[in-house]
Amino acid sequence: MSFARSSRVVLLVLVPVLLAAGGWYLYQQRPSGLPAGFASGNGRLEATEVDVATKIAGRLAELGPREGDWVEAGAAVGRLDADDLRAQLRAAQAQVVQAQRTVDETRAGARKSKADAALAGKMLKRSEELVGRGFISRNKLDTDQTGMEGAMAGMAQAQSRVAEAGAAVATAQARVDSLQATLNDTSLKSPISGRVLYRLAEAGEVLAAGGKALTLVDLSDMFMTLYLPTDKAGLVAMGGEARIVLDALPGEAIPASVSFVAPKAQFTPREVETRSEREKLMFRIKLKADPAWLAAHRDLAKGGMPGAGFVRLDAAAPWPANLQIKGK
């Protein structure tokens, strides 16, 4: 009886083990890979990085955002010391006022010269009539003729001075505009909406023209680069539908589209694939994540996260259940 009881216990233990082993074997022997009409590859999610840099050299007076802060496009994030530029601008504005006064003076002189020329013209005409009647000598007519010519020359010079004064005003105003533009450049503004990735300078530092103050990451422009063999890459269409699945978000299929297909084959980079795979020519494919999804899930997907990209080669092929977009 003891032996029978022991055999029954052994069977009770072995049966579940054998069933589990059989199930694992069948699981391992299941069909693998994507359905027909799809291709996939591994990669890392990347985000576009944009630097906030100075256009002119100067001392950084202040810099607000810290690493991790969110900034909006066009927002002022810092400024350079601009006391010297403001002084130059005030001097240039004063020169504009002085140049405008000079214009007013030369215009008044031009009006007087015009009046003098008109008077000289009347005197010459009168002298011509009197000489014709014999009332005055020819010398008087010559004198009036010379006076008329001098008045006309004076009027021409006055008009020239008006033009020169106007040009001086334009030059002074251009100087003001240039200084104002340079003064505006002392304000550092964010070119995009994004998160601060690196803070590269601190207040008080002197930066050269082009000196970087911040590096921003554009969370609305994220993509993954894949490498597909020629037989698959030849079926990839620009703008084709795609999906990105990150290791950190295995249950979330990110909608994407094909934004780039390399026009030339290349060997797969050493750090991405095995040696045997490197011996095959591959095409670089870029999948751009849907900006609307990224905006609705800001900070959920981060640059550098590893994952897999999936490309639909056949537009009629339905997406597998695990690659369906949630909410659709």
pTM of the model: 0.66
Compute the radius of gyration of the chain from its Cα atoms.
Answer: 41
Instruction: Read off the pLDDT band of 135 (50, 70, 90).
Output: low
Token output for 179:
């200084």
Q: What's the rounded Cα separation, in Å, for the pair 78 and 67?
A: 14
How far is C-alpha 83 from the chain's CA centre?
29
Please answer whether residues 173 and 52 qualify as being in contact, where contact means their C-beta atoms are separated by less than 8 angstroms.
Answer: no
Token output for 88:
């130059």
Q: What pLDDT digit, counting tens, does each position of 236-250 carry?
A: 989 999 999 999 988
Question: Which residue has better confidence, 142 or 234?
Answer: 234
- The string of DSSP letters for 214-225 reads EEEEEEEEEEEE
Q: What's the rounded Cα separation, in Å, for the pair 309 and 303?
A: 14
Question: Which residue has better confidence, 251 or 20?
Answer: 251
Q: Please state which CATH number belongs to domain 51-81+186-213.
A: 2.40.50.100
pLDDT of residue 162: 81
Instruction: Read off the pLDDT band of 61 (50, 70, 90).
Output: very high
Q: What pLDDT digit, counting tens, does each position of 26-56 carry?
A: 333 333 467 888 999 999 999 999 999 999 9
Q: What is the mean pLDDT of the chain?
A: 82
* One-letter amino acid for residue 302 of the chain: K
pLDDT of residue 144: 67
Closest CA to 242 of 253, 231, 228: 253
pLDDT of residue 25: 39
| Residues shown for the chain | 328
Q: In Å, how far are 144, 272, 311, 318, 322 from 34, measured between CA atoms?
A: 106, 21, 10, 11, 11
Q: What pLDDT digit, counting tens, does each position of 179-237 carry?
A: 999 999 999 999 999 999 999 999 999 999 999 999 999 999 999 999 988 888 888 98
- Running DSSP on this structure, what letter comes out for residue 251? T
Is the pLDDT reported for residue 23 higher than 60?
no
pLDDT of residue 82: 93
Instruction: Read off the pLDDT band of 10 (50, 70, 90).
Output: very low
Residue spans per domain, the chain:
34-47+219-323, 51-81+186-213, 83-184
Q: What's the rounded Cα separation, in Å, for the pair 80 and 22?
A: 72
Please answer whether residues 197 and 217 qualify as being in contact, where contact means their C-beta atoms are separated by less than 8 angstroms.
Answer: yes
Q: For the residues 131-143, what does the mean pLDDT come to?
A: 70
Q: What pLDDT digit, counting tens, does each position of 265-321 carry?
A: 766 555 554 555 545 678 899 999 999 999 888 888 888 899 999 999 988 889 998
Q: Please state which CATH number belongs to domain 34-47+219-323.
A: 2.40.30.170
SS3 220: strand
pLDDT of residue 188: 96
Report the share of the chain in percent with pLDDT over 90. Answer: 48
Closest CA to 120 of 82, 159, 153: 153
